[in-house]
Structure 1
Amino acid sequence: MTTHRTAMRWTEWVHVRNTEYAGADLGLVLHPDDDASERFLLMQLGPRTLPPLGWITGRDGKQAKYQVELPSGQHAFVVPVKSLESSHVLKMMMFGLNKGGGLTGSRFERCPYQSWANGGPPIDECNFDVNEFRAIRKVEGQKIEPDSATMICKHAPTLDPYGIDDLPARVTQSGRQYYARAPGGEMWVSFYDLPAETRSALWSRYCEEAAQSELNGSR
């Protein structure tokens, strides 16, 4: 499958992780369910446009030596900047940099952006224990059928797609997050909380729809 103008397969998309953290232990954050074959790139936000700090594939990044434990008891991976691949290599492979060193954005996560329908999770649910909150969504995710589900994406923290956790600054990185819900349902479920087969099928469908959106000249 290719997308209009970019001629890129969906497996060649780059997932951007943005951070405001500037500590010496800065690294690119990976979720345990990030796809092994996809590429992830770290951008440091600041008062001026900065070049990417580097990138890595999910396969290379999700190694035991990079694993960290979160306050919630879950784990993630933090790949030190020095262990990331040079962004110049990725530039030659996949995208261009503008004169200021920032990303042009022309080949990043080509998909029809939609706002968070109904404002996201009900605020009165946010007093749930974080793990209980996610467990409820995992149960809901079992009911979602890839062929009929509604999908959206929004900008949210990688390790806290529902915005309910209090993450340490070091692992607070954000990017596009993807969600689905069953027809007529009221509960959006992060792709991370879906069964692996459902997540894969929905991602393929999402990218097919993104390609069609590109062909139609919309986003």
Structure 2
Amino acid sequence: MIKCIVIDDEQPAIEIMKYYISKIPELDLVGTFNNPLLGIKEIKKKGVNLVFLDVQMEQMTGLDVMNVINENVKVILCTAFSQYALDGFNLDAVDYLLKPISFDRFSKAVKKALSTFNNEFSPSSLEILDDDHIFVKTEQKGKLIKIYFKDVDYIEAMGNYVAFHQGKTKIVAYSTMKDLEEILPRNIFMRIHKSYIVTLPKISMIENGFVVLNNGHKISIGSNYKEAFISKMKFKTL
């Protein structure tokens, strides 16, 4: 995966970028920074591959940041001001995104960035998700079924297959849990057991090591997944 960070002095802009990044499996967000100086330290410390960088910031401009970071680090500039585009490209920015940034435009910039890395990160391996659904391969050859995220209660492992549980309906698809983890949006789905991925908005209760879904179904939280799950839930706990 490509390690990336976001440097922007406006928190709403950072939140949008975090959401977009979560929808692209090849990207691993390792930090966000309002202060560009702290962002520069992170780039040097963690071996960051890609930076989503605001241009106009109080402490220093994005162009100044580009002048001091390693040339092997790819940069996608993000700003509301088009007049800096030429300067950005002169400093070898991968792309230049004008705010407000749509997901479609964002994904095109990411594809361009991926093409500059090794073949393992090439655009051909990039599977961009639509906002609300995916298509899955079924047991029947040549057949694909559209599955809306909002309809899924949980996903169950079945060897080389998985079962999407939607109320009283079960759709069996040809996939592995590992593949699903990489492709499903992390803000909606999370693996909590070696055999289960749950739809986070469908959780009604967490009790005694179990997740209780809106339909009353209980799923055990696996010991290897407990710490990550609790950490994620802390952001939604009063």
TM-score (norm: length of structure 1): 0.23
Ranked by relative contact order (alpha carbons within 8 Å, sequence separation 6 or more), the top structure is 1
Name whichever structure is richer in strand by fraction: 2
Larger Rg: 2
TM-score (norm: length of structure 2): 0.22
